[in-house]
Structure 1
Amino acid sequence: MTASAFPDESTTLMLPGPAGALEVAVDLPEPGDARPLVAVVCHPLPTEGGTMHNKVVTMVARALRELGATTVRFNFRGTGASEGEFDRGVGEREDLRAVVDWVRAARPGQALWLAGFSFGSYVSLSSAAELAPDALISIAPPVAGRGWDFSGIQIPEVPWLVVQGDQDEIVDPQAVYDWIDSLPRKPQLVRMPETSHFFHRKLIDLRGAIQHEVKGWLSQA
Structure 2
Amino acid sequence: MPGPAGRLEVAVDLPGGEVARVPVVAVVCHPLPTEGGTMHNKVVTMAARALRELGVATVRFNFRGTGASEGEFDSGDGERGDLRAVAEWVRGTRPDDQLWLAGFSFGAWVSLAMAAELQPSLLISIAPPAGRGWDFDAITAPTMPWLVVQGDADEIVDPQAVYHWLDGLKAEPELVRMPDTSHFFHRKLIDLRGAIKSGVRRHLPAAHG
TM-score, normalised to structure 2, is 0.96
Residue identity opposite 2:13 in structure 1? D
Residues 35-85 of structure 1 show CA distances to partners (whole Å, capped at 9, x for unaligned) of 110000000000000000000000000000000000000000000000000
Deviation >3 Å, runs of 4+ = none
Residue identity opposite 2:35 in structure 1? E
CA distance in 1, matches of 2:127, 2:93: 30
Could you tell me which residue of structure 2 aligns to residue 207 of structure 1? 193
Residues 100-129 of structure 1 show CA distances to partners (whole Å, capped at 9, x for unaligned) of 000000000210000000000000000011
Q: Is 1:179 paired with 2:165?
A: yes
CA distance in 2, matches of 1:111, 1:78: 28
**Superposed displacement of residue 220, structure 1:** 7.3
Percent identity, aligned pairs only? 74
CA distance in 1, matches of 2:184, 2:22: 29
**Superposed displacement of residue 162, structure 1:** 0.3
Could you tell me which runs of 5 or more consecutive residues in structure 2 were left unpaired when the two chains were aligned. Answer: none
Matches within 5 A, 1:54-73: 54-73=41-60
CA distance in 1, matches of 2:136, 2:58: 26
Q: Is 1:114 paired with 2:101?
A: yes
Alignment match of 1:189 (pick from 169, 172, 175): 175
**Superposed displacement of residue 34, structure 1:** 0.7
What is the aligned length? Answer: 206
**Superposed displacement of residue 33, structure 1:** 1.7
Matches within 5 A, 1:65-214: 65-144=52-131, 146-214=132-200
**Superposed displacement of residue 30, structure 1:** 2.0
**Superposed displacement of residue 152, structure 1:** 1.3
CA distance in 1, matches of 2:57, 2:95: 14
CA distance in 1, matches of 2:124, 2:135: 18
Could you tell me which runs of 5 or more consecutive residues in structure 1 were left unpaired when the two chains were aligned. Answer: 1-14
SS at match of 1:33: coil
Which one has more relative contact order, counting CA pairs under 8 Å at least 6 apart?
Answer: 2
